[in-house]
Amino acid sequence: MIVNGRKTKELLIAPVLKDPPPSVSLSGMPVERVTAFKLLGVYVASDLKWLQHVDAITSKAAKRLHFLKQLKWSRSRALGEMI
């Protein structure tokens, strides 16, 4: 198996330290250190809290609900004009 260094991320699951550990490199390429990332549809944060995941899901649901409301409004208006 070949590991793609550009897609690889490093997540430290610990409080931010005054002196963080040295950065990791893979095949001579430095691995990006992140505080949160999406893994199999779930946002994982370094503090192991769900806030970022809940915000993303809430935002997605609000967008879909808005679309459904617009669709309902336009459909009821189109039916009203037919009568």
Dihedral angle of Cα 9, 10, 16, 20, to the nearest 10 degrees: -120
In tens, the pLDDT along 4-53 reads: 878 889 998 877 667 778 888 888 888 999 989 999 999 999 889 999 99
Would you place residue 2 in the very low, low, confident or very high pLDDT band (cuts 50, 70, 90)?
confident
Q: What's the confidence (pLDDT) of residue 75?
A: 76
82: Cα separation from own chain's centroid: 44
Q: What's the confidence (pLDDT) of residue 55?
A: 96
In one-letter notation, the amino acid at residue 58 is: T
